[in-house]
Amino acid sequence: MRKMKRNLFIFAVILLFTMTFSASVGSADLSFVDSLKIVAAKLPFLGRFVDTAEFGSKYEVIVWQVRMPRIMMSALVGAALSVVGAAFQGIFGNPLADPHILGVSSGAAFGATLAMLSGVTAGFMGLGAVGAFAFAGALFTVFIVYHVSKISGEISVTGMLLTGTAISTLLSSLISLLMTFHNDRIEKVYMWTMGSFSAATWGKIRFLSIFVFVGVAVIFLYAGKLNIILMGDDEAKCLGIDVDRIRRRIIMAASLLVGAAVAVSGIIGFVGLIIPHCIRLISGSDNKKLMPYAFFMGAIFVTLCDTVARTVAAPTEIPVGIITSMLGAPYFIFLVLKRRRRI
């Protein structure tokens, strides 16, 4: 336990360093120390001890209003997707499972497409119309998958996987059909599906934070029992574990996390696949260690990816989903080949 606390502290320090470094990178001439002072000045208790008069309001706006919202959003999305990936890999007993396995991303993409093509402007909880429709689409998809996959009143893991795949394929086809009739807006829809934090605001972060911390707390709560479930359903039931109830709660919490993340950022792939596998090299398969480590490592990874996405080809911005896919796809192929060799 002492070693775990030490490791979590190290991860937290690395995350804070990464976020401050990201805030200092960009077209404005700001050093790491300058960014650290501006951020510290905005924090409770620390602000009174930091003098930012030397920077002027322009640099404070750049760091706190422009860069920090997207840095915070990238960290929260990365943390959420990583924890969900670890949870799904445990729940489904499949090391290749990722946060979008139940068709949540396709549901969100369909909702966002409807908003963009219909011209709706009404938002929800700090989200714009696109984000609100994406969140609603994700939740609706989970609802359909959950109820269709029930067999004799119980959740079927295989049924959920197959239903999620079928629903995802159907929604992807509908998106393609809608885009066929709206050629003038294809680029807008396509760019959203690539994922980006360029539209980050503090309002969206407040929305996302609610779901991230509640959803992550639920998954952490059942991490120890998930270890027992991995031994097999029969063994878990003999030990008094209500497997179906725990599995249902983890799936619903994870789906809410993915829906909220996709609603604010679009689809960002492979984060929930590669981060849990990397963390297992440190923590092993114990979910009580894996989940917290994945939370911090996912936040660090996506923050760095977003920093690269907005600076490597400046002034052009690369969708962050492209960066994560370029790193994640080769690793996915490696996992498939590694699993085939074992078989």
Nearest to 253 by CA among 195, 284, 225, 212: 212
- Could you state, in order of their start, the residue ranges of all structural domains in the chain? 73-342
pLDDT tens string 117-151: 876 666 566 567 777 888 888 888 888 887 887 76
pLDDT at 84: 92
pLDDT at 190: 75
Q: What is the mean predicted confidence (pLDDT) over 330-341?
A: 71
Which is more confidently placed, 50 or 4?
A: 4
Query: Is-contact 130 192, C-beta < 8 A?
Result: yes
pLDDT at 90: 85
pLDDT above 90: residue 219: yes
Per DSSP, the three-state class of 302 is helix
Which is more confidently placed, 155 or 11?
A: 11
pLDDT at 114: 85
Q: What is the mean predicted confidence (pLDDT) over 200-224?
A: 90
Two structure tokens written together for 333: 């192929």
Per DSSP, the three-state class of 52 is coil
pLDDT above 70: residue 343: no
User: Domain 73-342 adopts which CATH fold?
Assistant: ABC transporter involved in vitamin B12 uptake, BtuC (1.10.3470)
Maximal C-alpha separation, the chain: 68
pLDDT at 307: 92
| C-alpha dihedral, 328 to 330 to 331 to 337, nearest 10° | 140
Nearest to 175 by CA among 99, 101, 116, 260: 116
Amino acid, res. 111: G
Q: What rounded mean pLDDT belongs to the chain?
A: 81
pLDDT above 80: residue 94: no
pLDDT tens string 174-189: 888 888 877 767 777 7
Query: Is-contact 243 237, C-beta < 8 A?
Result: yes
pLDDT tens string 257-313: 888 888 888 888 889 888 998 888 777 788 888 999 999 999 999 999 999 988 887
pLDDT at 306: 92
